[in-house]
Every structure is written in C-alpha cells, then in structure tokens.
Amino acid sequence: MPDPQATTLTVGSGPEARDIAVLQRAGQPPGLFWLGGYRSDMLGGKASALDAFGAARGLAVTRFDYSGHGRSGGDFLAGTISRWLAEARAVFAATTGPQIVIGSSMGGWLALLLNRALRDAGDDRVKALILIAPAVDMTEELMFKTFTKKELKALREHGLVEQPSDYSDVPYPITAGLIEDGRHHLLFGRGLATSCPVTILQGGRDTDVPREHALKLLSHLLSDPVTFTLVPDGDHRLSRPEDLKLLETALERAVAEAVPPQLALEL
C-alpha cells in the first residue's frame, strides 16, 4: 500500500490561525478517524497500529496532531477543548463517506463532542465510536477536582499548574484557560445519546483515567449499544501487543457493522 499523504490544514484566521498536520491514507469506506490524547501525537503506537490496520484492509485512515502537538503549529499553552474540537471538525470535514471515530484519553472526550456537533449539524457519517480510556470531562473531573491546595493557588496566581507524568520526564502543564474552557463542554450529569454503537476499552490499572471514570461514562450511555472491555492489568496507554489486539477486534466489529453488505463482499 502507498504511504499516507501528509498535508497541512490551516484552521482559524488572523492571530488564531494555526497549521494542522494531517496524515491521510487513501482507501475504501468506512474511514478510520483518529483522535489522540493530551500531549500525544499521531505517530504514537495506537495511531500507528490503526494505520497499519487500515492499510492491510484497504481502508481510508485519517490522523492529525492538535495545535501545539507533534508536527502541528500553534502554542500548546493556548490549547483548549474548544480549540482542539474546532480542529477535529475541520479535519473531519476533509474526509468523505462513513467514518469510525477512535479516540484515546482526551480524544475519547473529543470523539463524543465531535459526534454530537456533527449530528447537530445534520452530519450522520460517524457510524461507530471506539473510546480508549476515555477522559470525558477531564478538565473538571480528572484535573481541577484533584488539584491540591498548592496547585489551586498556582492556578489562581499564575494561571498554570505543572503535574508530573508517568510517561514523560517533563511535567504536564495545565492552564487556567484549559480548565475554564472545559466547563463549556462537560457531558456528565445527563444521558448521552450517540446514535451509533460505542466500544470502550479500559485498563484496570489506569491511574490517569481510573476504571471508575469509565464506568461513570458507561452509566450515561443509556440509548445506544455499548461494548465495555476491562483489561485488568492494563495501564493508561493500552499499547501492549495484547491491548492492540483488542483494539483490532473492536475495529473489525465496527467495520463489519458499518460496511453495506454489497461492499463487504468486495473487501
């Protein structure tokens, strides 16, 4: 299969303009649309495994980096859920045909927000959601509500909190702007209708997005088919070979359900 094509998409205008790096693999529907996590990039293990899955089956695959991430332009500290959601919508608009949206960690939250925004606009091209350790409402539930008194003081006085990470030697910066903007996108507290099947993959030893958080999301999905898989010894990344096999199984099921019978015979 040919390599995916690298393109750049400009989102926003004036001082808000930023160049978003996109990798698109040509192929048949349904397309696979990747949404990464906070401070991750489109060349990570799961995103690369997704691309390999698509390449092996002749499916279209779209990956991109949020502004301030990976190959994209923009200042990471200017990042907000609104900003990154706008970028996801712009990149999604560059796809054609039915799509399966796969979101990891923060990308799981953005996947739900993207699906809702598209359906509100009359676009029903999302045929399935696959959410990996979905960090729904993370700015409030997993960040602000867990801050120590010292961190809350830093947020008030400096507009910035730096937290250590198990996955980086550099602390994760969390801005007041990110926290405040996130409150405009909170999903918990009311039922969530996705109008498509949802798969959740969750690690039992995830310290960033605990299993209880994923179960809270599960309790909000009341009107659509949901498959929940708990990996008892899995961590937040769920990127071991056995974890990627679970992702592949979820993708195979989603593709089979999304592909019209006549096209399935050709794949």
Q: What is the CATH number of the domain that holds 40?
A: 3.40.50.1820
Helical (H) or strand (E) element with 110: helix 106-120
> Burial of 48 by CB count in 10 Å (0-12 exposed, 13-18 middle, 19+ buried)?
middle
The structure tokens 């539930």 sit at 141
Residue 148 in any domain: the answer is no
Domain that residue 206 falls in: 5-137+188-264
The answer to whether residue 149 is domain-embedded is: no
Task: Report if residue 165 sits inside a domain.
Answer: no
Decide if 17 is inside a domain.
Answer: yes
What's the number of domains the chain is made of? Answer: 1
In a domain, 163, yes or no: no
Q: What is the dihedral of CA 191, 194, 195, 201, to 10 degrees?
A: -110
158 within a domain of the structure (yes/no)? no
Question: How would you classify residue 258: left for phi > 0, otherwise alpha for psi between -120 and 50, otherwise beta?
Answer: alpha
pLDDT by residue for the chain (267 residues), tens only, comes to 678 999 999 999 999 999 999 999 999 999 999 999 999 999 999 999 999 999 999 999 999 999 999 999 999 999 999 999 999 999 999 999 999 999 999 999 999 999 999 999 999 999 999 999 999 999 999 999 999 999 999 999 999 999 987 777 788 899 999 999 999 999 999 999 999 999 999 999 999 999 999 999 999 999 999 999 999 999 999 999 999 999 999 999 999 999 765 554 455
With respect to residue 179, please indicate whether it lies within any of the assigned structural domains. no
245, 53 contact by CB (below 8 A): no
pTM, full prediction: 0.95
* Angle (CA) 197 34 125, round 5°: 50
